[in-house]
Structure 1
C-alpha cells in the first residue's frame, strides 16, 4: 500500500487511535499512563468531559514516518554526537560510522554499545524499542537526546534529536536488528510465528484498543443503577409506567412534571383515603356540611366586620369625630369669650356642661317643677348649693342658659351625638376563644391556617380600638388583608366539594374507581419522593451511553481488515522465496523451515514458521534450538529488508552469539554481501566476529571502518581506536611504537617503577602481535584461530617464502616476550626492557615484515 494512502487511512480513524499510533511510532511501547491518557482522549471524543484532561490533545501520525516502507532513498549514517541523558553515555567525542559501507563497532560488555543501539531504535524505529533511562547513579536527566549526522541522497544533514521526538521520518528508513526486534517469535500457541514490523505495529494497535476497551468496560460496570424498584402495586399506574421507561431521552421537563407534589395533591390523597375508609358516606356528607357552616358563619362575621372597618367606613367615622371636636372647640372658644370674667374657670367645658344639665334636670323635675331652668325669680335658691341667689348670681345663671341655648353649643352637641350614634354601630370583634371553637368545629387543624385567621382577628381588633381612640388614623386608611377570609371560603368550598363527593358515593357504589384514584395518587406521591434517584439514574444512563459510544470507538474491525490487506501485500510468494533463499545463504536450509498462512484472528493474520519434515505435529518452538531460532529470526529479517528498494543503513546488535557459531561464517558472509547495497553497521563484543568480518570483507575487497567504544572514568560509550586485537600486524607495530614513546616520557619523568606498568602492557601486546604475524604474514592466513576452515587457495605457494632466518627471528622474539608474560622468580626477576630496547625490537620486526611482504615465493 502506498504510504500516502496509509496515512490518509489513519486520518479517517478515531482521533484517539491516531494519537495511539503516533505514540507507538514514537516510543514503541506504551505505559500505563499512556493507556490512561488514551482512554481520556477516547472518552472526550465520545462527548465525556474528563477531569484534569483538558490539556490533552489528540495528535495524528507525523507525515513521512511510514515513508521508508515504499520510497526509494539512499541514506547513510555518519555520526552520533552530544549524547545526553541516555544511560551512562557522556562521550567527549562523536561516534563516527566512517565513510565505508561496513562499520564494525567493538566494545566489551558494559562499554555502552547497547545504549547507542537504544538511541538508534528510538530514533529509527524497531519492533521492541524498550525503555531509555538516564544514568541511574545520578539525578534524573532533564534532557535526553543527541545529534545525528547523516546524508540523504547525497545531501549532508544534522539532526538535533530528543527522545520525546520519537521516530524521525528520515531516519525511519534505518533498519535495526537485535534478538527482540526480530519478526519471528513464539506465539501463545507455542508456534513460531512470523510478523513483519508494520503488521506488528497494527497488532499492537489492536492490543491498545483492547486495553482501552477494558478500562471503559470497568467504568461501565461501575455505573450501578440506584433507582429504587417500583412497588408492584404501582406498575399499572400512569406515573408508574413512565417511571419504568426512564431513559437517556427523558427530559428535565418530564421529570419535573411527573415528580411534582403539592399541598393540593396531599389533600386529594388524604380525601381519597378518607373516602375509601368511610362506611356511611351520607352521614359523612352531613358532618362535612356542619363543618362548612362553622366556616361560613365565621367567614361572614369576619367579612362583615372587615366591611365596617374598611377604609371607607373608617373615613366616615374619623370625619364625624373630627367634626364633633371642631364644633366643640368653637363652642368652647365662644364660652371663653362670654365667661372670661367668671370667678371660676372651665365654664363651657365637658364636665361643666354635664353639671349644668344635671342641675337643669333636678330643677325642672324636683326643686322647681314646672318652672323653666334656671329659676331666678323672687327668693329663688341655687339648686346645687341651696343658697339664696343674689342679683349677680341670678344674672350669671341667666347668662349660662343663654350660652347653652346658643347656636354653637347646639351644633357641638349635635355633632357629638352623631359620633356617639356611629360608635354604637361598631361591631364587636369575636374573641380568640370564640374563633378557635369555630375552627375546631370545622375540623381546621393546620396551624398556619388557624394562625392566618387569628392574625386577621388581631388586625380587626386593632382597627376597632384605633378607630374609637383615634390613635391610629393613618393606619386605618390601609385596606384590610382579606386572605384569611378567602382561605375560609376555600376551605368551606372544599368541604362542600367533599360533601358532594360523599353524596355521590352514597348514591352509587364506586369504591373500585376510588381505589384506582387512590393508587394513582399514592404512586405519584412515591415517585415524587424518588426525584433525586431519578435524576441520578438519568445521569447514570447518559454516562453509560457515552461510555458505550467511547467503547465503540475502540472497535478493531477496521484495523483487522487493514492488517489483512497489508499481510497479503507483505507476505507474498516473492517474500517466501526470499526467505528460503536467505535460509540457504545462512546455512540453515537443513532446518527445513517454511512460512505458511495459518489463519486470522482479531487484528492478527498468522503466518507460522513450520518444519517440512515435522510428521509428528510437535510445535515448532519445541523443536528448534535457541541458535536455530535466532538464525530463523535473522533469515526473516533479511528477507524483509531485501524486498525493499531503498538503499538504507542496516544496524546489527550482536547478530551472532556463542549459541550460533554453526552459522557464524555464513552470517558474516551474508552481512558482507549486504554491504554492496547498504551501509551495514555491526555492534559486537566478540573479537571472533570482528575477525571474521575483517576476513570476509578482505575477500570482497571491502575496507571496513573499525572503531571501539570504551568505559572511561567519566562515562561509558567513549569512542576509541579499533581494539588492538583487531589491528593488522602492520598497524599494530605502529601503535606499539607510539605507545613506546608515551612510556619513554613516563620513564624520564616518573622513573622505572612508574614505567613498568606501560612497559608490561607493551610487552604483552608485542607478544600478541607476533602471534598475528605468524598467522597472517608467515603462514599467509592459511589457518587462523577464530576461523574453522583452512584456506589454501592462492596461499600455499606463499609458504615457500619462509626461510630459516625468518623462523629464527620470530622464535627468538616469541621466546623473549613470552618470558614477560609469566611469573618471575623472586630472587632473580627479569627486568623489563627499556624504551630504547623496545623501540629497537619493534623497528627490527617492522623492517623484517616489510622485507618479507615484498619477497616473492620460491620458483
Structure 2
C-alpha cells in the first residue's frame, strides 16, 4: 500500500497554526470508547510506556469475563483515562570526546588520538592515508546501513584483536567504552553516518526509518496485550474442551445413550437427557440379573449339537448315495461283459493267426503290428480324401505292387473290416462305463468316520450300516479295477443297510432343522437381552455421571460463548493498527516530508515525488520521478549525491539530533558550487550539533574552516601515512590563509621581536615582513577583489564583481603595492640585488607598514 503525501508536518507550517495531536491521546480516545478491560491495558501502557505485565493481562482477562457476565462482577470499574498531550521525550545527547587506543583496524598505527570538537571536526587526509579505518569504527558502533567488514593488517603475520577506547558524554555524564569490534553498540546506534555507498540506498531503495517515536511503540504494546488476552481466551476454551473422551469411555457403543454423550455440547438438551437416567435403589440387582441372563444365552450348547449333527448328516448322506449307486449297479451285465471280452479276444487271436499264416510275416501278429496296420489305413483314407491315392503303388515306398503284395493288402483289409474287432471294441466300452460307475462313488466322509469310530466302545448306531456299505463299495471298486467278476449279491447285501441309512438321514435332518430353529430363536433372544442389558447399564451410568455431564455441558456453553466473544478482538487489534498508522503518518511521514523538502531546497537537490509505503507493518519511504522511474535512472551522479544527502539529513533531523552526525567524503563527484552549498549546510548543522567530517577534498576542508573562522566551533586533524597509516595530527588547517589568521601571526611576530635584540630581532622582523606580504595577497584576493578569483577555486566568480569597491581602488592599490614590494625585499623567497642585501628591515618600519595596511583595510571597508 502506498499513499502520496499531501499533508505537511508541523515544521512546514507556521507555529501558530500547528496543532499537535499526541498519539497517546488517540489511543486514550479509542480506549475510552471501548470495554473496560481494553481501557485497563491502555492505561498501563500509557502510564509505564512499556509492554503490559503478565499480571495485568490476567487481570484484564478476568475483567473481560466479568464484563461479559461469564463470572460474577467483583473487580472495580476502570475509569476513563485522562492525559495531557505531550511530545516524545528525547534521550540525553551523546557527545564524543576522544577516540584513542585503536588496535587491529585496517593496519592503523597505534597511539593516534582524535578529540572531536562539540561543533565541527574535520579529519583531512589524502586517499589511502587511513581515514577509512577510523570511519569504519564509527560505522560499526552505529551499525549503519553501509557498515562493512573491518579487517586488520592483512600483511601482519598474526591477527590482532580489534579494540578502541571511546570517551564520551551522555548529557553531562562522562563515560568510557572499550570497543572490541562489536556492531551496534548503544548509545552509539543513535549516530547518523553518511558515506558514498549510502547514496544508492538513500536514492533508490525503499527505506525503513532508523527512528521510531517512543509513543508509536505504545500501539504495539496495546496490540500485543490484546493478542495476549485473546491467547488467554484460547487457553480457557482449550481447558473447557477437555474431559469429553474420558466421560465417553464410561458408556457402551450401541446404546441409545452413547451418541448423546458422544455429541455432548452447548446444544445438548439436559432435561431430555436426564429423563433417560435411572437412579433406583435396586439398580445393582437388576444389572446382575440381566448379566446372568445374557451369560446363560451366550453359553451356546445348541451350536455344539448342530455341529455334531451336521457331521453325522454328511456321513449318512454320503453312505446313502454310495448305497444307491451300489444297489443300482448291474453286476450281471458287468460279469457278462467280462466273459464276452475274454471270448472275443481268443477268437480274435485265432482269426489273426489264420489270416496271416501264409503271409510270411517277420513275426507273429501282435498289438504293435496291429497299430502298424491301423496307421496305414488311416494314411490311405487321408490320400483318398485328397484324391491322391494310387491303389497300384505301395503307401510307404511308392513302388508298384506285385501280386503277393496285393494279396497281403487284401488280407490287411479283411483284418481291418473284421466283425470280431468291432464287437471287441463295443464290449470294451461297456466295461469302461461300468468300471467308472464302480470307482466314482465318493467315500471320504465315510472313511474318516469309520477310522474315527472303529476302535470306540460307544459307536454310533449306524456304524455297522455305514461299514457294510463301505465294504461293498471297496470290494466292487477293487473288482472293477482288477477286471474280475463282481458279487451278484450286492443288492441283497445292501438292502437293509440302505433302508436304515436313508431313514437315519431323514431323522438327522429333522433333528438338525429343529435345533437350527431353536438356535435362531436363541440368537435373537441373546441380542434382545444384550440390548436390554446395555441400555439399562448406560442409563444407570448416566445417573452416576450426571454431575460430570452437567459440568461438561456448562463448560461447552461457556467455551461457545468465549469463542463468540473473541471474534471482535482481531477487529480491535486492527483498529489499534489503524490508529498507529495515522499517528505514524503524523509523526514520521508528514514530518519527514517537510524536512526532506527543506533539505532539498538548502542543497538545491532536484524536485521529485516522495511516497510512503507500508509493508509488513513497517513504515517506509520511496522516491520516484514521473511516477515510476528510479532517480538513479534519470539524475546525474552529483544530483544523486545531494538528493541522498537531503534524505539523510531529513532522517537524522526527524528524531531530533541527539548524537554525532558523521560524513565520510560527502562531496566527491560534486562541482564547486554544490561543494559550497554542502559545506554551508554542514556548518549550519554543526552550529547546534556535533558533526564529524572525513574528507580528502582540500577545497571542501578550507571552505568549512572559513565558515567557522568567527565561531571557532571547529577542530581540524590532519591524517597522514608518513609514519604509518592513520597518523593523526591536530593542526590549524591546510595551507590556507585568512586575514584574521595572518593578523594574529603578524601581531605575534611583532610582540616577539620587541622582546629580542640584534640578529634575533632582525630575523623575526624578516618573518613579520613575510606575513605582511601574505596579508597583502589575501587582502587583494578576498577584500579588494571580493573573491572574484581565489586560490583552490577552479573558476572566476563573476557574480561577485559588483561587490568590488571600485571608488577606493585608485587610493588603495598604490599603497598596497608599495608595502608588498617593500616586504618582498626582506624575505628569503626573493633574490635581492647586491646593493640592497646589506639593508636590514627595522622593527619600526614593520610596525609602520602594518599600521598602513590596517588603515587601508578600514578605507576599503568604508570606515
Question: Which range, TM-score by smaller chain?
Answer: 0.3 to 0.5
How does the TM-score come out when normalised to structure 2? Answer: 0.40
In our comparison, the structure showing a higher alpha carbon Rg is 2
Give me the TM-score of the superposition, normalised by structure 1.
0.40
